[in-house]
Structure 1
Amino acid sequence: METTRRHEPDIDIEAVRLLVSISELRSFKSAAERHRMTVSNVSNRIRKLESDFGAQVLRRTTRTLELTPLGHRLVGLGESIAHELAVAEGELARIGSQFGGTLTVSVTDELMTWLAPLILQVAQDNPRLRVSLISDSQAGTQTDIRVKRVSKSSTRGTPISMVICQSMGAAIAPGTYSAADLLALPICALGHTTAALAIDLNTARSRVQVEVTPCFMTTDIEVLLQAVEHGVGLGLIPELVFRSSASRSRFRLLLTDHRMELSTDAYDVVVSDREHSKAVVRHVSSMLEQQLKATRPA
């Protein structure tokens, strides 16, 4: 015995959206205004929807509009579709706002540990963007953004605020309370040469400049902190590099009443002329500038 399959109606999604609006606004006229249609067109689309399903979706009187069971089901479907469309539109907008292409950023070795997480976050937020972070010593002419060391007298130069830290288990020699006394102890420096470093120590009352010669230098903050922890000396580290380290809880800051600033080192964010018009370059260079400015002594 042959059976005939019932024809499933093609759902008019726009008509369902009209039905959702009618249900919300309780008015054909208001729904028509929302969708920029005439009332007669709205009525025709609803009648066609009812014809497709062979059942009413609305019970209409001169004063009220009431959804039928079929109408309730279609309104629920329409609301789900509207939600999914909103999610899809939001995702498309997010993808459209992401940066694409390539970006090459060079930074000095002493700032690599600090700035690398920020650049990595830019790459994670923009999957279509290929980011390359290289050492300033390896940078060529094709660098888009360069964080470079400049003269402290430069109007754009940003001095780096420093901290001195010590292992929790280490002991300070009795009586060494002054900045000069502490800086006379062995110093482990992050990312600087072993040449003498001139450091300005700023307090509320005075500004003292001292010179220290590091006995140990590395561009890896974990190596430096391990050296400090094992008693090689005190750690001299850019403030935000130290504060961003996951291992900082093993150490305590010394000279908490002082703000230290390297006299010979200041930094600037330089944007290549060939890439200056790119939105991604402007965006990332602005982020880097904000990070550098955040290190200024208060």
Structure 2
Amino acid sequence: MKIRNLDTFYWVSTLGSFRAAAIHLNISQPAISARIHMLEQDLGAWVFLRDVRNAELTPEGRKLLPYAERSMALEQQIIDAFSSTTRIVQTIRLGAAETIVTSWLPEFLAYVGKTMPGIAFELSVDTTNNLRNALLLREVDLAFLMGPVAESSIANNPICGYEMVLSTTPDIASQHTHWSAPDIAANRILTFSQETRPTKEIRSRLVAVSDVPLDMTTSTSVGALIELACSGYGICALPRAIIQQALSSGKLVELNTDLQLQDLSFTASYVQSAVTSEMVRKITESLTTFLEPRLRDGIYFTGASQSAIERI
């Protein structure tokens, strides 16, 4: 029996379909089917049910799965033991919210490349809701998102928080010396996509003080929102750290208001029982070391190891 076929069985059962396993292993779906067929011939038993939409295990498949998990774990231990000399490159499927991507993620990936050789990343950028679903479906190994993810199988490590502010162009800001919540609600609001927590919070708070329907422009592209705000299209509700350059240049100014938005808290979340979990845990540990000297205005630690949150 070939170990490769056992590994393929593990990924089909973990990801839930032959197609998902083919994408993950970067081979064709017929090749996946051929490997499973060879494995079943070696075992003399079917490991997946036929004529069902998803890859469902037979009783023999459920019996085999713990052995496949141990085999994958052993492979990972061997790679870890020879990490200083092996030429094997491990790919970690990383999902990240755009707030993280536009602040410190590029530097962190470069840092990992220098300090933890042998790791490559397959990066996907998405909303927290989609990243959470991808994590639960085992489509990503690690996610930097607005957590925690409330599932017993998921480990959540607090990493950092972002201060949310309301800002706009100097011309618009000069319309009021002090902006009340109704004043803000009367203007166009630019912020994250509809299904995100901060947008739901902003909407609920402004709807309560507005007599007219809210005019909200939402987007998954933080860069587009900043450009719109700088052009005078409306008031943006975004993390201070993300708009710091526009604030420093004077293109945007922070509103003088008593309306305080809830900060964004991010976690590094991953599946605890996955074969990549030990490698992912090491990556999250290195993240704390990386972030400490690099945090800037508007970003702060939320890690449980700190005695207090210190704003930079």
Query: Shorter-chain TM-score: what band?
Result: 0.3 to 0.5
Q: Which has the higher strand share?
A: 1
Structure possessing the higher radius of gyration over alpha carbons:
1
Q: Normalising to structure 2: TM-score of the pair?
A: 0.46
Could you state the TM-score of these two structures normalised by the residue count of structure 1? 0.48
